[in-house]
């Protein structure tokens, strides 16, 4: 099999959207005849975003007759490096990757096998990938945080609970959040990165105890949202919450009329999973692919959560159905 050249990256470096890499019916039939095998390795599998991303990849692989080897690193960079190197040794035709740490994964990206790779979250420091898959992370956090700030009148104290992943998309989330806060009249009282929902619960509890007059908290990923909301509910204080990632627990809170949850920004994970495989297939067919594929985030609030569920969870029964 002659793989698409990474020279395609230099030929077309423009920004693209998911629809730009969608395969035609003729291209799908060609791909189906090639008996391809792809690796699909993620940094974890603990939230809806990753599982929906995988679902988008698995459904697309099934539609295209591609064997998809799915693995996850459980936030262990060394394990992920070993797993991806194993995929390279197995001579898969392409790899879709969500990295734990860009620096740690670079040796697997700089490989002599010529295997085409798509990465989620930002470009690696070494080596070339076919394209980078991103949500509009900065815009999503900025929009959701500003909505939260506006809802509390633009003043008071606010804390941030984030995630310590070494990915550019995570830095974009924090930057969007902090820009929204700095443009407001709110006082930032702390930014705490956490790995787990329990850690988020503890971090939010500490913020609340240290700041009894805390007005709001913004959480930049799903488990931070869940842990923070639990801390707010338990505190008895009227603290409002906004976040980035719109997952089942958030939709359930909106449907239950939770008085503290104000805004979420949802990533279209199924769309990203499909677009990543589409881009790899385009390259294998010898077509150029843009250096970055962007999928917009969607603001979710108490006013639109039911419609947004259908956008973010296509084909999945809603919790209130």
Nearest in space to 6 (alpha carbons), one of 96, 114, 82:
114
Contact 96, 38 (CB under 8 A): yes
Task: Say if residue 1's pLDDT is above 80.
Answer: no
Look up the pTM and report it.
0.78
Residue-wise pLDDT tens digits, 7-21: 333 344 578 888 899
pLDDT band for position 112 (50/70/90)?
A: low
Rounded to whole angstroms, the Cα distance separating 123 from 140 reads: 20
- 3-state class (DSSP) for residue 123: coil
Residues, the chain: 321
Q: In angstroms, how far is CA 69 from the centroid of its own chain?
A: 20
Rounded to whole angstroms, the Cα distance separating 228 from 219 reads: 7
What is the CB neighbour count within 10 angstroms for residue 16? 17
Rounded to whole angstroms, the Cα distance separating 279 from 171 reads: 25
pLDDT for 233 equals 94
Mean pLDDT in residue range 118-129:
74
pLDDT for 165 equals 75
Supply 213's token pair.
Answer: 């007059």
- Give backbone dihedrals phi and psi of 289, rounded to 5 degrees, phi first: -135, 140
Residue-wise pLDDT tens digits, 38-91: 999 999 888 788 888 999 999 999 999 999 999 999 989 999 999 999 999 999
pLDDT for 122 equals 67
pLDDT for 285 equals 94
Rounded to whole angstroms, the Cα distance separating 234 from 254 reads: 17
The residue behind tokens 């470096």 is: 13
Residue-wise pLDDT tens digits, 221-274: 989 999 999 999 999 999 999 999 998 999 999 999 999 999 999 989 899 999
Supply 179's token pair.
Answer: 């820009």
How many helices (H) does the chain have, and how many strands (E)?
12, 13
Least confident range from 97-106, 280-289, 297-306: namely 97-106
Q: Return contacts of 248-254, CB within 8 angstroms, 24+ apart.
A: 248/48, 248/313, 248/319, 249/222, 249/225, 250/222, 250/225, 250/300, 251/300, 251/305, 251/308, 251/309, 251/318, 251/319, 252/319, 253/229, 254/300, 254/301, 254/302, 254/305
What residues have CB less than 8 Å from 248, skipping those under 6 apart?
A: 48, 313, 319
């Amino acid at each position: 099999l002659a793989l698409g050249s990474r020279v395609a990256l230099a030929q077309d470096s423009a920004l693209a959207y998911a629809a730009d890499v969608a395969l035609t019916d003729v291209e799908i039939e060609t791909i189906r005849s090639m008996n391809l095998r792809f690796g699909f390795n993620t940094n974890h599998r603990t939230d809806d975003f990753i599982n929906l991303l995988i679902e988008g990849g698995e459904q697309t692989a099934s539609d295209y007759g591609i064997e998809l080897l799915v693995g996850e690193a459980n936030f262990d960079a060394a394990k992920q490096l070993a797993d991806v190197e194993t995929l390279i040794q197995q001579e898969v035709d392409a790899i879709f990757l969500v990295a734990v740490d860009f620096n740690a994964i670079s040796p697997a990206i700089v490989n002599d096998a010529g295997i085409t790779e798509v990465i989620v979250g930002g470009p690696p420091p070494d080596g070339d990938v076919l394209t980078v898959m991103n949500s509009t992370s900065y815009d999503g956090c900025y929009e959701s945080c500003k909505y939260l700030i506006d809802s509390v009148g633009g003043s008071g104290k606010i804390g941030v609970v984030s995630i310590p992943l070494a990915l550019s998309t995570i830095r974009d989330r924090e930057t969007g959040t902090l820009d929204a806060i700095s443009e407001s009249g709110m006082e930032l009282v702390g930014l705490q990165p956490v790995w787990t929902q329990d850690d988020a619960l503890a971090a939010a509890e500490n913020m609340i105890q240290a700041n009894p007059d805390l007005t709001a908290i913004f959480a930049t990923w799903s488990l931070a949202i869940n842990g923070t909301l639990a801390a707010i509910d338990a505190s008895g204080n009227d603290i409002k919450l906004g976040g980035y990632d719109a997952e089942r627990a958030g939709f359930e809170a909106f449907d239950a009329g939770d008085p503290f949850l104000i805004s979420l920004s949802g990533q279209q994970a199924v769309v990203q999973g499909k677009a990543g495989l589409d881009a790899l297939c385009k390259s294998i067919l010898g077509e150029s692919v843009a250096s970055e594929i962007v999928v917009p985030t969607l603001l979710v609030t108490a006013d639109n959560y039911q419609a947004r569920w259908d956008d973010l969870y296509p084909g999945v029964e809603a919790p209130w159905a």
